[in-house]
Chains A and B, each alone.
Chain A
Amino acid sequence: MKPESQKVLEIRDLKTYFDTPDGVVKAVDGVSCHVREGEVLGLVGESGCGKTVTCLSVMRLLQAPPARFPSGEVYLEGTEILRSPEEVVRGLRGNRISMVFQEPMTALNPVLTIGDQVSEVLVEHRGMGREDALGEVKRILAQVGLSDPDDAVKRYPHELSGGMRQRIMIGMAMACKPAVLLADEPTTALDVSIQAQILDLLMAMKEDTGMAVILVTHDLGVIAGMADRVAVMYAGRIVEEAPVDDLFDDPLHPYTGGLLRCIPRMDRVTPKLDVIAGLVPHPLSYPAGCRYHPRCAKAMPVCREEVPSLAVVGHERKVACWAWSKG
């Protein structure tokens, strides 16, 4: 990663709310982050913290209503896409920005052959004829490591293993060499040996094309191996952002520290694991102030009342915690 490289994707104060019969779900509530050319930004957090909704908002894949965006701007290579007309987004989605989903079984269309669905992207964005597109698809499938592309294009998703399906998803996402790839838990459904293969493939593709990657995962091990920079999300907000080494060496937010301490590790066996007490708050009833305060051992009176903002506290380091703000 070159230090002067461009911010290819920038998210500013993104808020994604859902209107439900029970109230407003503030799934994403003021997220700002960016990713540069050739960089991997890890987005980490527990389920329900808003990682996936952030990605889907950026891809404009959420149905509105029930979704709405009370605030926020998303710039892809300088173009605002959150409020652009659908035609503009259609030209960019799958072309300049792509997404790899967690579950390759449900993300692929079960009634189309692999050849048909992967070539769709090329026909749509590159204006290729069907024959040319199919040839290109075979080249892409070979590139993502399928041993027999001629056979694979004729297959339907259910005939392939989870690892192969995820390779195809990556091939499809990479078909037009996008500037930004959003990878939402790309290996969570896979076994460890296949996970390693898929992560290697993603890294090789990134090196090859210089694309920016946002890697969404709950697995801090995957983050440690893949990310250059990490943003930690909790209850719809980013609570900490740091270069990967700094985050693991010296986590600033109590939530990050708690997460790191509570993972069971192979190389460090303790009789008891550290725990984060309590539960992730329900999105319909977030606590006031810092949303982590009911679970935080270091909570102060101010944490219960006022929301800490994500403040710069060092080189490329940001944290949203009253213990760190000088105020």
Chain B
Amino acid sequence: MTQNSAPLLEVREVKKDFPVRAGLFGASKLKVHAVDGVSFSVERGETLGLVGESGCGKTTLVRTIAGQYRPTAGSILFEGANVATLDRKDALRYKRNVQMVCQDPYSSLDPRMTVEDIVAEPLDIHTPGLLTDARRQKVDSVLEMVGLRPSDGKRYPHEFSGGQRQRIGIARALVIEPSIVLCDEPVSALDVSIQSQVLNLFSDLQKVFNAAFIFVAHSLHVIRHTSRRVIVMYLGRLLETGDCGAVFDKPLHPYTVALMSCVPVPDPRMMRTRERVPLKGEVPSPVNPPEGCAFHSRCPVALERCARERPELLEAEQGHRVACWRSS
């Protein structure tokens, strides 16, 4: 497992279906296509944003990477090795290297555990036999890094505010120095004034830990501030990817353009004058996604071809790829 030329993480044509529960008799043939053929890679130490509306498969994809779901098709490669075929020891090493920060800081911390035990849990699993003093030291130093006091380790989650709980969740993810941190909507449950504190904390931590961060968010602003590269998802598919600067300043996919024009900006004059691309209707059901391009049913500039053939993700400019017949 030491092919250093391989990317840190590679997601190759990953699909994840969930069966729709049928009635009393027989299995259903219907499936929710939550992730529908997604490929991308993540390099060491980089930050990647994953953006899309609810139901687009962001969370399923992240959970599949975390090993909580087994992909229906395709593979996930960690340092060049297929995660599905790792032996026990390497599988444990993979799990140690991939940690997650959850969305809801209220339900993701065990209310009966002290903060120290919560934060130390990954250590207890992955480095058993760690001496009490060393364990305490590691917890204390990571608590300080996320802006809490070592004495907070003796307290319980309910004694903390939402923003502080999210800091505890971040400390738990970072304590064993993983190489990939998956952050699923890490600030969407927080108030604006607290959000900015936590976003700043992330950018500080990125400098300290040489880990790759994958940020999942529905908020384009949050992605813009945290990530270097971005992936735009829709109905389980990848529509556009590239550097944040390129994608947000010069979006190529009509979905990205529309999404960006819908985001409210705290500037009344801009809100009155800017041109909006309204998106018709709602996201189609992932049980029965449209033929061709997944977005064609809502696309303001759809061609006849878009309803028939699925466009591939092609490079439009250096490092900026888009799946749209208009661009190819």
Residues on A lying within 8 angstroms of B by beta carbon are 46-47, 161, 163-164, 191-197, 200, 218-225, 244-245, 248, 258-260, 262-267, 269, 271-276, 279-280
Let me know if B54 and A262 touch, CB within 8 A: no
Query: From residue A186, how far is it (CB to closest CB) to chain B in Å?
Result: 13
**Contact residues in B for A267 (Cβ distance below 8 Å):** 265
Let me know if B191 and A272 touch, CB within 8 A: no
Let me know if B276 and A272 touch, CB within 8 A: no
Residues on B lying within 8 angstroms of A by beta carbon are 53-54, 161, 163, 191-197, 199-200, 203, 218, 220-222, 224-225, 248, 258-260, 262-272, 276, 278-279, 282-283
Which of A192, A220, A221 sits near B53, CB closer than 8 Å? A192
Let me know if B268 and A224 touch, CB within 8 A: yes
Let me know if A191 and B53 touch, CB within 8 A: yes
Query: From residue A65, how far is it (CB to closest CB) to chain B in Å?
Result: 26
Let me know if B264 and A224 touch, CB within 8 A: yes
CB within 8 Å for A266 and B265 given contacts A193-B258, A259-B193, A279-B163: yes
**Contact residues in B for A161 (Cβ distance below 8 Å):** 282
Query: From residue B264, how far is it (CB to closest CB) to chain A in Å?
Result: 3
CA distance A262 to B199 in the complex (A): 10
Residue of A nearest to B54 (CB): A191
**Contact residues in A for B203 (Cβ distance below 8 Å):** 271-272
Let me know if A218 and B268 touch, CB within 8 A: no
Let me know if A264 and B265 touch, CB within 8 A: no
Q: Which of A46, A192, A220 has the most CB of B within 10 A?
A: A192
**Contact residues in B for A195 (Cβ distance below 8 Å):** 262, 264
**Contact residues in A for B53 (Cβ distance below 8 Å):** 191-194
Per DSSP, are chain B's interface residues mostly helix, strand or loop, or mixed? helix
Let me know if A265 and B266 touch, CB within 8 A: yes
Let me know if B192 and A46 touch, CB within 8 A: yes
Query: From residue B165, how far is it (CB to closest CB) to chain A in Å?
Result: 12
CA distance A276 to B194 in the complex (A): 8
CA distance A146 to B259 in the complex (A): 22
Query: From residue A222, how far is it (CB to closest CB) to chain B in Å?
Result: 5
CB within 8 Å for A279 and B282 given contacts A259-B192, A264-B196: no
**Contact residues in A for B270 (Cβ distance below 8 Å):** 224
Which of B194, B224, B262, B269 sits near A245, CB closer than 8 Å? B269
Residue of A nearest to B248 (CB): A266
Let me know if A262 and B268 touch, CB within 8 A: no
CB within 8 Å for A263 and B196 given contacts A193-B258, A194-B282: yes
**Contact residues in B for A279 (Cβ distance below 8 Å):** 161, 163, 194
CA distance A274 to B271 in the complex (A): 23
15 A-B pairs in the complex with CB atoms less than 8 angstroms apart: A163-B282, A192-B53, A193-B259, A194-B53, A218-B192, A220-B266, A225-B268, A248-B267, A262-B192, A264-B196, A264-B225, A266-B265, A273-B225, A275-B193, A280-B193
CA distance A195 to B219 in the complex (A): 13
Q: Which of A260, A264, A271 has the most CB of B within 10 A?
A: A264
Query: From residue B184, how far is it (CB to closest CB) to chain A in Å?
Result: 16
Q: Which of A200, A223, A224, A276 has the most CB of B within 10 A?
A: A224
CB within 8 Å for A273 and B191 given contacts A163-B282, A196-B278, A220-B266: no
Query: From residue B3, how far is it (CB to closest CB) to chain A in Å?
Result: 34
**Contact residues in B for A271 (Cβ distance below 8 Å):** 203
Residue of B nearest to A269 (CB): B224
Chain A to chain B: the 6 pairs with minimum beta-carbon distance, closest first: A221-B264, A225-B271, A262-B196, A191-B53, A193-B279, A264-B221
CA distance A267 to B268 in the complex (A): 14
Q: A245-B268, A273-B225, A275-B196 are in contact. List 16 more A-B contacts (CB 8 A).
A: A164-B282, A191-B53, A192-B53, A218-B192, A223-B266, A224-B264, A248-B266, A248-B268, A262-B195, A263-B192, A264-B225, A265-B265, A266-B220, A269-B224, A276-B196, A279-B163
Query: From residue A164, how far is it (CB to closest CB) to chain B in Å?
Result: 8
Which of B191, B225, B267, B283 sits near A269, CB closer than 8 Å? B225
Which of A191, A224, A245, A263 sits near B218, CB closer than 8 Å? A191
Let me know if B193 and A46 touch, CB within 8 A: yes
CA distance A265 to B276 in the complex (A): 17
